[in-house]
């Protein structure tokens, strides 16, 4: 744990804290948290989160109160060098982080609770994860329209993964932590990860993910998400470019970002 805190790097992007740590460091951290006596919250910001946070300071505060902020979304890899001159070395998707937590829960005999998702999606995702991790104790909590004040049965839960969409899931997690104090050990907002694991939405092939083109894949298979993809792939980069111009660092930003774009397209 001490090694993690000594070597973890944090960036700030439009007020939102972003943590940079390797997969091995993340594994060590989560494994330690599962054995701890206090609760921890994880958020997984992507470009849509950052755009929303620019318009809502309360959302910035909510995200920054989390114990860990894992970058999800290739746009953050390019925005950080453009705006800070630094390099974001690691990115962790909600799907991969949830599967890592499921693996750790199976290995340590911990219980994973899934909250949210569409009808039957969480049940299917739980079935898939049990197939991958035979010893996994995973429970699905049936939640319809979650409102402030709703309660969730978290008895004996060690990890609660909440799939209610951006903003709503983070506020719901904060209310759960407020009501339950020191347990469960880990709360995480996972967005559409359950759909990907359940197979109700096809995840991009590995080579597409490595090239950072998940957004294009999603546009092809789910054209109804055009507005969200447009915000992440067009509006967010435009906001970043405008900020570099405003701060008179456009040329420096290009020098820092172009190599990152080329490396991403190569799958590095």
Peptide bond into 250 cis (omega under 30): no
Distances 86 to 14, 40, 82, 169, 225 between C-alpha atoms, Å? 15, 27, 8, 30, 31
Asked whether residue 248 is domain-assigned, the answer is no
Range of the domain at 147: 17-207
- At residue 34, the pLDDT reads 93
Give pLDDT < 70 ranges for the chain: 1-8, 143-155, 180-183
pTM exceeding 0.85 = yes
Report how far residue 201's alpha carbon sits from residue 199's, in angstroms, rounded to the nearest whole number.
5
- At residue 7, the pLDDT reads 52
Task: Provide the b/e sequence for 208-232 (b: ≥16 CB within 10 Å).
Answer: ebebbbbbebbbeeeeeeeebbebb
Asked whether residue 7 is domain-assigned, the answer is no
Number of compact structural domains in the chain: 1
- At residue 148, the pLDDT reads 46
Asked whether residue 238 is domain-assigned, the answer is no
- At residue 181, the pLDDT reads 60
- Provide the token pair at 201: 């939405």
Asked whether residue 219 is domain-assigned, the answer is no
CA 95 from chain centre, in angstroms, equals: 8
Asked whether residue 250 is domain-assigned, the answer is no
- At residue 229, the pLDDT reads 84
Asked whether residue 220 is domain-assigned, the answer is no
Contact 63, 30 (CB under 8 A): no
Asked whether residue 242 is domain-assigned, the answer is no
Asked whether residue 86 is domain-assigned, the answer is yes
Which residues are CB-neighbours of 246 under 8 A, at least 6 positions away?
Answer: none
């Amino acid at each position: 744990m001490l090694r993690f805190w000594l070597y973890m790097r944090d960036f700030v992007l439009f007020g939102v804290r972003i943590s940079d740590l390797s997969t091995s460091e993340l594994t060590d951290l989560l494994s330690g948290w599962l054995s701890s006596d206090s609760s921890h919250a994880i958020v997984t910001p992507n470009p849509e989160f950052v755009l929303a946070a620019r318009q809502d300071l309360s959302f910035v505060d909510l995200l920054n109160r989390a114990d860990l902020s894992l970058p999800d979304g290739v746009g953050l890899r390019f925005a950080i060098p453009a705006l800070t001159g630094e390099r974001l070395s690691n990115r962790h998707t909600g799907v991969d982080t949830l599967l890592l937590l499921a693996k750790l829960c199976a290995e340590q005999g911990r219980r994973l609770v899934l909250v949210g998702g569409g009808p039957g999606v969480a049940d299917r995702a739980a079935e898939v994860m049990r197939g991958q991790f035979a010893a996994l104790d995973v429970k699905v909590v049936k939640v319809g329209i979650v409102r402030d004040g709703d309660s969730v049965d978290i008895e004996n839960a060690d990890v609660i993964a909440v799939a209610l969409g951006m903003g709503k899931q983070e506020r719901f997690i904060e209310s759960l932590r407020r009501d339950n104090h020191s347990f469960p050990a880990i709360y995480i907002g996972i967005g559409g990860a359950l759909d990907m694991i359940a197979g109700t939405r096809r995840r991009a092939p590995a080579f597409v993910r490595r090239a950072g083109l998940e957004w294009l894949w999603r546009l092809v298979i789910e054209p109804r998400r055009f507005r969200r993809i447009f915000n992440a792939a067009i509006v967010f980069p435009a906001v970043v470019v405008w900020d570099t111009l405003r701060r008179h660092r456009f040329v420096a930003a290009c020098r820092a970002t172009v190599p990152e774009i080329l490396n991403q397209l190569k799958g590095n």
